[in-house]
Structures are given as C-alpha cells and as structure tokens.
Amino acid sequence: MERVLVNIPSNPIFERIVRASADELGQAIGLPPERVEDLKLAVSEAVNNAIDHGNRREAAKLVEVIFALDADKLEVRIRDEGEGTDRVDFSRKIVEEQNLDSGLHRGFGMYLISALVDDYEISSSQHGTVMTLRLYRKESSHE
C-alpha cells in the first residue's frame, strides 16, 4: 500500500491543495475522468466539513488527510481535531422551494459524499472525527 499524507490548517483556501492532490491521485490510479470529478467533490466536502464543523476554523487545529492506494481502491481518510459529533446526516438534500427565501441553502455536502463514493464510514470521539471515503479502481455498479 502507498500513502500520501497532507496536513492543512483550518483555512478553506487550503482545501484546494487537498482537492488538487485528489485530482492527481485519481488520475494516477486510472480512475475515469468522471470518477475523478466525483472524488474531488467528495474530498472537498469532507475537508470543508472538517474545517468548518470539526475544527470550527481554529487555525491552530489541523485537518489530516491520508490518501492510501492499494491494488483495489483509493481510500481517503480525513481527520479533524474537533470535539466530535453525535450525528452526521447523510440523508438526501435537495433545493426546496419553501427554503429558498429563508436562506436555508446548506447541508448538501454529506448527501453528495454518500452519493459520489463507493463506500464511506465515519467515526467520532471527543478527540475528533474521522471520515473515510473509498473509491474502487474497477468500475462498480456505482453511478
């Protein structure tokens, strides 16, 4: 197994560095272009979630991202240094007419992650939250 480790401060501008890494690694392992785009978006959402909700944008706290490649898959582990969370909502979120005027336009991120990767898991404790995303090299039934 090969690993690439990226640590970023909790500033959204550095999410672009992780995203660029995901782009390069996705291409390097031969994912189809559309799957690379899925990977970039899922990683972006998970990292932004770690920055905003995990580390609450405290600059001193880091987001650790480990890309692990093996023969079958690319696994991305995103870890924050927050206080953990009881519940993460992966349910489907759509733009709803009744919410447009109220400005409630957030919450798509976790749904997009769940829909774009082959599988995912999350674990959380008082020491932080770890989200693990997996994309398999061979095309699965995922659409």
Partner 1 sequence: MSNEVIRREEFGDVAVLHILTTSVDTNSAVAIEATATATTMRPITVLDFANVAFINSAGISALLKFVVSSRKAGNKLFAMNVSPHHQKIFKMVEMSRFMPTIEERDLAAYR
Binding residues for partner 1 (CB under 8 A): 12-13, 15-16, 19, 34, 37-38, 40-41, 44-45, 48, 93-95, 97, 100-101, 103, 105-109, 111-112, 115
Find the shortest distance in angstroms from Cβ 95 to partner 1.
Answer: 5
Q: Decide whether 114 or 129 has the Cβ nearer to partner 1.
A: 114
Query: Which positions ≥6 away from 104 have C-beta within 8 Å?
Result: none
Q: Decide whether 1 or 94 has the Cβ nearer to partner 1.
A: 94
The β-bridge relationship of strands 73-79 and 2-9 is: unpaired
Count helices and strands in the chain by DSSP H and E runs: 4, 5
Element (H, E) at 74: strand 73-79
Q: Decide whether 19 or 134 has the Cβ nearer to partner 1.
A: 19
With the CA atoms of 19, 20, 22 and 25 taken in that order, what torsion angle do they form, in degrees rounded to the nearest 10? 180
Find the shortest distance in angstroms from Cβ 111 to partner 1.
Answer: 8
Q: Decide whether 71 or 94 has the Cβ nearer to partner 1.
A: 94
